[in-house]
Amino acid sequence: MTPRPEAFFLPVGPDGDQRFCLFHRAHGPAPRGRVVYVHPFAEEMNKSRRMAALQSRALAAAGFSVLQIDLLGCGDSSGDFGDASWAAWVADVRLASRWLRERDAAHAAAPPWLWGLRAGCLLAVEATDGLDEPVNFCFWQPATSGKQLLQQFLRMRVAAEMMSGAGKGLMEDLRQQLATGTALEIAGYRLAPRLAEGLERAQLLPPPASPDGRLVWLELSTQAEPRFSPVAEQAQARWRDAGWQLDARLIKGPAFWQTTEIEEAPALLSATTSALQTRVEQPA
């Protein structure tokens, strides 16, 4: 029987702020690694909850300890989405990484992983500046540019206003409102200027690699002959050139973070578990 994850609230600072977390304890005595999951942006988080839960359980069954954290203003954590800033989210990822290292002493020497989905990959990379240990990365459908994600999010507001008969220049008007400190209501989310500013600046640039630094890059496709986009290939080349050991794979499956109904991608689950285990399984 698969053990249930431990649900708890992680204190943040002296003001009573808390982050909701799920801790999946690793099965078996042999430590394989520690994994912190960094969820994507806005509604993509909710669409991805099932896949994140399934993958966390699969990794725990394979011997990894896994921590899922709801960032500030997301899920069951303190605050509203409109209270969030990019810097606060980065700090939450660092907090989760340190907690897992201290909490799971049996795995303290095992390889640590930051596993991100979409915007979560950008947060994971930025969070490494300030951690006191090297990490490996697992990227699910990584966003290479926060600016592009912000543009896509703003387009949702533009589309809604055009449906109501608004004219041209809407995108410029929204950006002007953010620049002057005005928060925007978009698809049920209140986007604060400081969150938008941090997201727009974020890029998927490689941090300095440790001698054994690993990056697992997994993307989903429904095409008959899938290929990475030129942007993804350029980003992967930058990571290789920076000394990272790259394992890049295209997996058959739906874009579950944006589908109307909750979808699963079983091939992605097995590919992720296999990729993270690869180094551990090799003989000494």
The domain segmentation of the chain, as residue ranges, is 6-145+214-281, 148-201
How many residues appear in the chain? 284
pLDDT of 215 above 60: yes
Across the range 174-200, mean pLDDT stands at: 95
Q: Which of 176, 178, 179, 19 is nearest to 91 (CA)?
A: 19
User: Binning pLDDT at 50, 70 and 90, where does residue 106 land?
Assistant: low
| 156 phi-psi bin (left φ>0, alpha ψ -120 to 50, beta other) | alpha
Listed in order, strand segments (DSSP E) in 169-234 are 184-186, 189-191, 214-221
CA-CA distance, 116 to 267, in Å (whole number)?
A: 17
Assign 58 a pLDDT band (cuts: 50, 70, 90): very high
Contacts of 28 (CB under 8 A, 6+ apart): 63
| pLDDT tier for residue 161 given thresholds of 50, 70 and 90 | confident
pLDDT beyond 80 at 112: yes
Report the DSSP pairing between strands 184-186 and 189-191. antiparallel
Q: Identify whether the C-beta of residue 248 lies closer than 8 Å to the C-beta of residue 228.
A: yes
**What SS3 class is residue 92?**
helix
Look-up: residue for tokens 């993509």? Answer: 44
pLDDT band with cut points at 50, 70 and 90 for residue 103: confident
Cα–Cα distance list, 169 to 93, 158, 164, 178, 219 (Å): 36, 9, 15, 15, 34
For domain 6-145+214-281, give the CATH number.
3.40.50.1820
How high is the pLDDT of residue 284? 35
DSSP assignment, residue 246? E
**Amino acid occupying residue 69:** I
Structure tokens at 43: 């509604």
Summarize pLDDT for 225-263 with one digit per residue, the tens. Answer: 899 999 999 999 999 999 999 999 999 999 999 999 999
Percent of the chain at pLDDT above 70? 93
- Among 68-72, 97-101, 110-114, which range has the highest average pLDDT? 68-72
Name, of 2-16, 92-106, 172-186, the range with top average pLDDT: 172-186
pLDDT-derived band at 190 (thresholds 50, 70, 90) equals very high
pTM assigned to the model: 0.93
Confidence of residue 20 (pLDDT cuts 50, 70, 90): very high
Contact (Cβ atoms closer than 8 angstroms) between residue 10 and residue 19:
yes
Query: Where is 114: in which H helix or E strand?
Result: strand 112-117
* pLDDT interval class at 282 (50, 70, 90): very low
> What's the confidence (pLDDT) of residue 280?
43
CA 168 → CA 156, 184, 196, distances in Å?
15, 18, 22
pLDDT in tens, 43-56: 999 999 999 999 99
CA distance 31 to 23: 15
In 3D, which of 84, 168, 97, 184 has the Cα closest to residue 135?
97
What is the average pLDDT across 154-179? 84
- Which helix (DSSP H) or strand (DSSP E) does residue 52 occupy? helix 43-61
Average pLDDT over residues 127-136: 91
DSSP 8-state class, residue 131: B
Average pLDDT of the chain, as a whole number: 91
pLDDT at residue 283 in the model: 37
Q: Do residues 69 and 10 touch, judged by C-beta distance below 8 A?
A: yes
Amino acid type, 27: H
